[in-house]
Amino acid sequence: MIKTGRNYKLSTKIIILSFCSVLLVILVGGSVMVNKIAAIMEDEMGKRALAIARTMAQTPLIQENVQNSQGWLKIQPIAEKTRVATGAEYIVVVNMDGIRYSHPVADRIGKRFTGEDIFPSLSDQESVSSAKGVLGPSVRAFVPIKADEGTRQVGVVVVGILTPTFSGIYKSIRFEVYSVLFLCSVLGFLGSIFLAGRIKEALFKMEPAEIARLLEERTAIFQALGEGIIAIDSEYKITVANEAAKKILGTTDKLIGKSIRNVLKNSNLPRVLENGEPEFNQEKVINNTVIISNRIPVRVKGQVVGAVATFRDRTEIHRLAEELTGVKAFVEALRVQNHEHLNRLHTIAGLIQLKKYHDAMDYVFNVTEEQKNITSFLTRRIKDNSLAGLILGKYGRAKEIRADMIIDNNSSLARLPDKVDSNALVVIIGNILENAIEALKKYHSFPKKIYFSVSDKGGGLKITVEDSGPGIPEEIRDRIFDNGFSTKEEEGHGLGLYIVKEHVLAAGGSICVDSSSGQGTRFTITIPNRTDEQRGDDF
């Protein structure tokens, strides 16, 4: 299990992170906004102070009296009246020597002005500066006073206005700040919950540790599978490719992230992605290997977002089918033999109980002779033990359904054709005979007969199986060799004749089917004894 510190759920982490992010944005944004407001207000205060100072400097009474030693008596009332009316913190009028002619504190009148920022204004220049005094930070405007129609400077007007501080602005809008902060926090919290819910839903309500474990499990499963698996996304890029797929493709390169069109130029996965239709049990040749593949689209909420292909070497599938068919054939033979022996023992026991001892002896001799004859015939004529055992089992199976299986007296098989092995023949003959038995099993007309012949004379192998069953309906005759086609209702059928066809074609042979409604069916299989890959034209 992957651990991530404290065991918080993903939704909890998202809520905390989102809420803290919103809160941080509000605090930082609020601080920047308040500082910006303070800067704007300071600039406006400077312009306001400059306007008041200009007005005072242009007042004739001030221009005349700033040159007299007792002029402060007339200047002070005007300055104070203007200060109160405009809300300025102070209005100070000084002469060219820097002596104050007005001040909110009367004791400072007649004393020298302090501060080096007055020097530019004594040189006939307007200026605005910031200073921190006893009452707090302020902005000061300096405007020269000129007499004689502006040709001679006689003094300076200084107007000071307190500027708002960060804390001052915060205190003035504290209620609004708290209200906005609370509202944004609530909205941020609710938004965080909504966002966390949507993310969890998109992740199928799984935690990161669960997703990581699932991914590791999926990777392990994909790599352990014997079948090759390749998946692509909506942009045709490979997202999954296990080792079995690389082995079949004959590559060791990393495939994930590459376009399927570059890896497999004739791949049908893009077609499945585009039309959204699955394809099952499709044969394809890759690197001179015949594979059987299934391709299905991947859908999310009804939308095709990718496609997956699984594929396996056909020879492996056929090998497993052959093994299964061979085992089933021998098990069936044992079952039939056991059933027949039980019936015979019951018959013998009944005759003995009836004290028909001679009849019992005759029955034993007859049964023994029949079994001996068929066994001896097969062992002499059919040199392959697996095939002989299969035919013997099907012979007993036919008797079980009250059908006569006639084995042609001229049947013989001394050696197998070059392109067919014992397992392949077991599959071919076993499936054809089983189809004949199944046809007669459902058929209630008598007599029920199966004719079987196998011969390796004439430079090849010829197999004939004929039954007296109902025949194959005309509408399905062209489909009996299709992969997955079956007339049986149970699941798991539909491969028998398809595999027969594949084996016969692989050996360069052909199959001829002759069937008439109500008159039975005959299968004739011909396999030449040659090494070339020629195939019949009956398909």
- Measured CA to CA, the distance from residue 7 to residue 12 in angstroms comes to 10
For residues 477-492, give the mean pLDDT: 65
Which residue type does 478 have?
D
Over residues 18-30, the pLDDT tens digits come to 778 877 887 787 7
Residue of 64, 93, 69, 97 whose CA lies nearest to 80: 93
CB 238 within 8 A of CB 230: yes
> Average pLDDT of the chain?
80
The rounded distance, in Å, linking the Cα atoms of 414 and 430 is 19
Q: 44-53, 204-213, 397-406, 432-441 — which is least confidently predicted?
A: 204-213
Q: Which residue has the higher pLDDT, 539 or 220?
A: 220
Residue 174 has pLDDT above 80, yes or no: no
* Predicted confidence (pLDDT) at residue 274 exceeds the cutoff of 80: yes
| Helical (H) or strand (E) element with 20 | helix 10-57
Question: What's residue 35's pLDDT?
Answer: 78
Per-residue tokens: 459? 């430079």
Q: What is the mean pLDDT of residues 226-238?
A: 88
Q: According to the model, what pLDDT value does residue 175 have?
A: 76
493 has a pLDDT exceeding 50:
no
Q: Which of 209, 238, 205, 241 is nearest to 223 (CA)?
A: 241
Per-residue pLDDT band at 280 (split at 50, 70, 90): confident
User: Who wins on pLDDT, 135 or 354?
Assistant: 354
- At 325 the pLDDT is 56
Q: Walk me through the domains of the chain, giving residue ranges and CATH numbers.
A: 12-170 (3.30.450.20), 228-311 (3.30.450.20), 402-539 (3.30.565.10)
Give the pLDDT score at 27.
79
Amino acid 194: pLDDT = 82
Which pLDDT score, from 0 to 100, does residue 490 have? 41
pLDDT, position 158: 93
Sequence letter at residue 200: K
Quote the DSSP letter at residue 477.
Answer: G
Long-range contacts of 433-436 (CB under 8 A, 24+ apart): 433/391, 433/394, 433/465, 434/394, 434/496, 435/496, 435/497, 436/465, 436/466, 436/467, 436/469, 436/521
471: left (phi over 0), alpha (psi -120 to 50) or beta: left
Segment 442-471 mean pLDDT: 86
pLDDT, tens only, 64-82? 889 888 888 999 999 999 9
Mean pLDDT calculated for residue range 412-437: 85
Which pLDDT does position 41 carry in this prediction?
81
DSSP type of residue 163: P
What is the per-residue pLDDT for 144? 94
pLDDT value of residue 358: 74
pLDDT confidence of residue 237:
92
How many alpha carbons fall within 13 Å on the CB side of residue 224?
Answer: 6
Q: Residue 523 — pLDDT band, cuts 50, 70, 90? A: very high
Summarize pLDDT for 142-165 with one digit per residue, the tens: 999 998 887 889 999 999 888 776
Q: Alpha helix locations (H) across 58-125?
A: 60-65, 72-86, 119-122
- For the entire predicted model, the pTM comes to 0.42
Q: How confident is the model at residue 323 (pLDDT cuts 50, 70, 90)?
A: low
Whether 319 has a pLDDT exceeding 70, the answer reads no
pLDDT of residue 333: 60
- Give the range among 49-58, 77-86, 222-231, 430-439 with minimum mean pLDDT: 222-231
**Residue range 99-127: mean pLDDT, rounded:** 88
Once rounded to an integer, what is the mean pLDDT over residues 443-448?
77
Which pLDDT value is given to residue 532?
41
Q: Give the 3-state DSSP-derived string for 245-264, with helices as H, strands as E and coil as C.
A: HHHHHCCCCCCCCCEHHHHC
The confidence band for 512, taking pLDDT boundaries of 50, 70 and 90, is very high
Greater model confidence, 227 or 203: 227
* CA dihedral of 367, 370, 373, 377, whole degrees rounded to 10: -130
The residue-averaged pLDDT of 83-102 equals 90
pLDDT digits (tens, 9 = 90+) for 393-419: 888 888 888 888 999 999 998 888 877
Query: What is the pLDDT, as a whole number, of residue 316?
Result: 62
- Residue 397 structure tokens: 């199976």
